[in-house]
Structure 1
Amino acid sequence: MDFGLDDKTALVTGGGGRIGSEDCEVLGAEGATVVALDVKLEAAQTAIDTVEEQGGEGFAVECDLTDREDVAATVEAIREETGGVDVLVNNAGMVDARSRMQDYDDDVWDRDVAINLTGTYNVTRQVFPGMCDRGWGRVINMSSMAGWQGGFGQASYSATKAALIGFGKTLALEGAQKGVTSNVIAPNIVVEQFADMSIEELEQFDEHFARIAKATPMRKLGRERDVANMVAYLASEQSSYVTGQVVGVTGGIDLFSF
């Protein structure tokens, strides 16, 4: 299927990370010019190298999403290079904190709000108006099952990922009559190296991941590519009547089962 991205520019924040680099690869394969934005330029460039090796086009940019001036200057440079961002994948985020509320680190809370939520706002604020002016755009926010249903010991991560759902739905309302859609993806655990492991094998490696696999009706974890494929669809022309939705890529973990 032709997703209609041949003349589109796709900006992926956190483009050097596990999921972000996979998003870049799939969007590049669909014909988009991919901009991998990351605070680590080397990681972003590695993602673009893969895009180009597979026949796609793109470039890497270094940017700190918590620095509004840096974000504004970076987006302006991208606009001058490409004519404007058509697809924004708000993928960048921190997910390393795990602590009960009484022991939570204030600095971790502040960091996660600054990166996961305010960083997303900063870049979207620079990109969204241009989409509306041109009459076409796709915003895709990367939330999480923890943002949808909470996550034990993940107060800052869950709170910021839940906020991205409200943020994405608000953008959907504002862009609805201007050709701009906004949707949210809420993945389960997606790690390529664990996807083919049985629960018994996962128990030997990581008990936390094994418990998640047990609670998943498919009885397995997912892959980054599962998320990237959904990103490509939501970025496409074919998704033009899909907006304001939270799409789970979960293996069914959000279903009630017994």
Structure 2
Amino acid sequence: MDFGLDDKTALVTGAGGRIGSVDCEVLAEEGAEVIALDVDVSAAETIAEDVENAGGRAHAVECDLTDREAVAETVSAVEEETDGIDILINNAGLVDARDRVEEFDDEIWDRDVSVNLTGTYNVTRAVYPGMKDREWGRIINMSSMAGWYGGFGQASYSATKSALIGFGKTLALEGAQHGITSNVVAPSIVVGALADMDIEQLEQVDEHFARIAKATPMRRLGREEDVANLIAYFCSERADYITGQVVGVTGGVDLFSF
């Protein structure tokens, strides 16, 4: 489906990761010029090259989202080289910490708040004025099922992902009169090629993933494309009356069932 993004520029943070890279690919397929931003510039360059080899338009940008001054300078430079940033995909985040609250590492907590939440604030604050001036913008925050329901051993991750929901809704309220929509995507586990395995096969690879697949009404885990396709829709003109929403990409695992 043509989502009409041919004249749009999309900035994707955490572009070198599994979900971020597919976001870049799908947005480029829909015609957007993609700015692949990552603190790991080699990862950003890899996805930008992949997009261009597939016939799309992409540029790699290195930036540490926790450095507010660097973020502002990076966004300013991108806006000078393009017609402005029309789409912001706040995808960057860390999910590697796991421990009970009473044993949680304070430094890891501070790190995750700095990257997952404050980093998102930094880049959004830098991009937002341009969207407001042009009276058009799309902001997508990447939350998680853990942000809705909590996550055992994931204090920092679930807290920051929950905060992104509130931040996204605030952006929706403030941007509504300026042609800016803001929505939040909340996936369950996204596992790439493992999603193509049946449960019996998955049990041989990862018992934890297999348990989640069994509890999912669709009886499989998520793919990166499941997330990226929804994001592309939210970025389109077809979604211009949808804002402030939190949409799960879950296969139904969040549904109550007997």
Indicate the residue corresponding to 2:25 in structure 1.
Answer: 25
Distance in 2, matches of 1:152 and 1:255, equals: 18
Does structure 1 residue 109 correspond to structure 2 residue 109? yes
- Residue 51 of structure 2 is aligned to residue 61 of structure 1: no
Superposition pairs of residues 179-218 of structure 1, within 5 angstroms: 179-218=179-218
Q: 19-28 vs 98-107, which deviates more?
A: 98-107
* 4+ residue segments displaced more than 4 Å: none
1:124 aligns with 2:128: no
TM-score (norm. length: structure 2): 0.98
Identity of aligned residues (%): 74
Q: Render the CA deviation track for 1:142-184: whole Å, top value 9, x for unaligned.
A: 0000001111110000000000000000000000111000000
1:207 to partner: Cα distance: 1.8
Rounded to whole Å, the distance in 1 between the matches of 2:169 and 2:180 is 12
Residue of structure 1 in register with 2:219 after alignment: 219
Q: CA deviation at 1:53?
A: 1.2
User: Match of 2:251?
Assistant: 251
Shift of 1:203: 2.0
SS of the equivalent of 1:220 reads coil
User: d(CA) in 2 for partners of 1:216 and 1:47?
Assistant: 31
Corresponding residue of 1:9: 9
Given residue 168 of structure 2, which amino acid in structure 1 is its aligned partner? G
In 2, Cα distance between equivalents of 1:98 and 1:42: 27
Residue aligning to 1:46: 46
Q: Quick one: distance in 1 between partners of 2:90 and 2:153?
A: 24
| Number of residue equivalences | 258
Give distance in 2, aligned partners of 1:32 and 1:181.
Answer: 17
Instruction: Give the letter aligned to residue 224 of structure 2.
Output: E
With structure 1 as the length reference, what TM-score do the two structures score? 0.98
Q: What is the alpha-carbon distance in structure 1 between the residues aligned to residue 54 and residue 231 of structure 2?
A: 18
Structure 1 unmatched ranges of 5 or more: none
Report the CA distance between 1:27 and its aligned residue.
0.3
For the aligned residue pairs, the C-alpha RMSD in angstroms reads: 0.8
Q: Deviations over 1:163-218 (max 9, x none)?
A: 00000000000001110000000001111121011222222221221121111111
Q: Deviations over 1:86-132 (max 9, x none)?
A: 00000000001111112111111011000000000000000012111
Structure-1 residue corresponding to 2:133 = 133
